[in-house]
Structure 1
Amino acid sequence: MTKKLKKATRYKKAFIEKFRIILLNEDSFEEVLSMRLSLLNVFVLLSFSSLILMSFTAALIVFTPIREYIPGYSSGDLRAKSVDLATKADSLEQVINYNNAYINSIRKVLSGDLEYAKINIDSIIKAESENLPDLKLETTEAELNLREELKEKTESK
Structure 2
Amino acid sequence: MSKRSIRDGNFFERLGREYRMVFLDDESMEEVTSYKLSMGKLYILGSSLFVAIVLITVSIMLLTPLKYYIPGYGNDKARMQTIKLKQTVDSLTDLVSAQQQYEANIKSIIAGEEPKRDTEMLDMRKVKQEDMSSIVPQTKQIKQNAIEVIKQENKKQKK
TM-score bracket for this pair, using the shorter chain length: 0.5 to 0.7
Query: Equivalent residue for 2:39?
Result: 39
Q: CA deviation at 1:57?
A: 1.8
Give the superposed CA RMSD: 3.6
**Corresponding residue SS for 1:127:** coil
| Cα distance change, pair 76–129 in 1 and its aligned pair in 2 (3 A) | closer
Q: Give the total of aligned pairs.
A: 121
**Corresponding residue SS for 2:135:** helix
| Cα distance change, pair 58–39 in 1 and its aligned pair in 2 (3 A) | same
Structure 1 counterpart of 2:114, one-letter code: D
Q: CA deviation at 1:113?
A: 0.8
Q: CA deviation at 1:128?
A: 5.2
Q: 2:135 matched to 1:127?
A: yes
2:71 & 2:81 partners in 1: Cα distance?
18
Is contact 2:24–2:30 with CA below 8 Å preserved after alignment?
yes
1:12 & 1:33 partners in 2: Cα distance?
28
Query: Equivalent residue for 1:141?
Result: none
Q: CA deviation at 1:98?
A: 2.6
Structure 2 counterpart of 1:83, one-letter code: I
**Corresponding residue SS for 2:20:** strand
Structure 1 counterpart of 2:93, one-letter code: E
2:94 & 2:107 partners in 1: Cα distance?
20
Query: Equivalent residue for 1:63?
Result: 63
Q: How far does the alpha carbon of each residue in 1:33-90 deviate from its partner, in whole angstroms, 9 at most, with x for none?
A: 2221110000010011011112222222333344444443446665455334312211
Unpaired runs of at least 5, structure 2: 1-6, 120-131, 146-159
Structure 2 counterpart of 1:54, one-letter code: V
Q: How far does the alpha carbon of each residue in 1:78-131 deviate from its partner, in whole angstroms, 9 at most, with x for none?
A: 545533431221121122133123224423433241579x9xxxxx9x935544
2:43 & 2:59 partners in 1: Cα distance?
24
When Rg is computed on C-alpha atoms for both structures, the one with the higher figure is 1
Q: Percent identity?
A: 21
Is contact 2:19–2:38 with CA below 8 Å preserved after alignment?
yes
Unpaired runs of at least 5, structure 1: 1-6, 119-123, 135-157
Q: What TM-score, normalized by structure 2, do the two folds share?
A: 0.56
